[in-house]
Amino acid sequence: MPPSLTDSHCHLDFPDLAGDLDAVVDRARAAGVRRMVTICTRPRLAPQVQAIADRFDGVFWAAGLHPLHVADEPPVTVDELLTLARHPRMVGIGEAGLDYHYTSETAATQQDSLRTQIAAARVTGLPLIIHSRAADDDMARILTEEHRNGAFACVMHCFSSGPALARAALDLGFYLSMSGIAAFPKSHDLRAIFAAAPLDRILLETDAPYLAPPPHRGKRCEPAYTALTATVGAQVFGLPLPDFAAATEANFDRLFTKAAAQKAAA
């Protein structure tokens, strides 16, 4: 049997996956991926994402306003997120964050939205799920400022930023999530950042349907490929795959306590 794994970040509601979702989930389970967190990037789509989590055992969901959508969606509110968080399978806030690669003109609005979602994470006790691209300095500054105002838990989703942001996040007690990018042949510097991080702060994810690891790079990604990234992660940390998998499972349970409680109850 393959070791148990969790895909801590995927998008099962996206059209690329929604058409054959039963088969996608079946392949994930066959690969050892027993749990998945599917991410709602626009709060108005929460009913569809929640329905997917309700449909499959071991599937949880999170909700927030993605930074790329702040210009074309209503501002997210703390009360809105608190209402969504009442659902038993809603286990995280986000993905929230900053993305200046495509939309630097909305930087101020992105920052306001990020701070709102940090407040919701603080109130709910659910982990914040961060998207950061081409915004390392502002991201480190805001996370540090906000953490001083009141602690919150956080994972840097699909971490592919530089060592300074990694260190800032780790110093705050946050987690780094390893996606298929870490398995790309040229990602030497990124693998070095993960290798320097504490093992007890590492999560796994796919960001499916995006960022498929080799040998599927350039094709549709799906949660089953968490196992491929886990194999690379085990090599990075110099561990047998079962030991690395067990460590990431313990890390997920420590961060996503609401999901872990349901596993314990089962």
- Give residue 263's pLDDT: 72
> What is the residue-averaged pLDDT of the chain?
97
Is CATH 3.20.20.140 the right assignment for the domain spanning 5-265?
A: yes
pLDDT at residue 41 above 80? Answer: yes
For residue range 131-163, list pLDDT tens digits in order: 999 999 999 999 999 999 999 999 999 999 999
pTM: 0.97
What does DSSP say about strands 202-204 and 5-10: parallel, antiparallel, or unpaired?
A: unpaired
Q: What angle do CA 144, 150, 253 make, to 5 degrees?
A: 90
DSSP 158-191: T--S-HHHHHHHHHTT-EEEE-GGGGSTT-HHHH
Q: What is the pLDDT of residue 136?
A: 97
Q: What share of the chain has pLDDT > 70, as a percent?
A: 99
Please state the three-class secondary structure of 58-121 as a single string.
CEEEEECCCHHHCCCCCCCCHHHHHHHCCCCCEEEEEEEEEEHHHHHHHHHHHHHHHHHHHHHH
Q: Who contacts 28 (Cβ-Cβ below 8 Å, separation ≥6)?
A: 7, 36, 222, 223, 224, 226
Give the number of C-alpha atoms closer than 13 A to the C-alpha of residue 188, restricted to the C-beta side: 1
- 3-state SS, residue 8: strand
Measured over the CA atoms of residue 68, residue 218, residue 50 and residue 39, the dihedral's sign is negative
Q: Is pLDDT above 70 for 186?
A: yes
pLDDT at 164 over 60: yes
CA–CA dist 38, 262 (Å, integer): 16
Model confidence band, residue 217 (pLDDT cutoffs 50, 70, 90)? very high
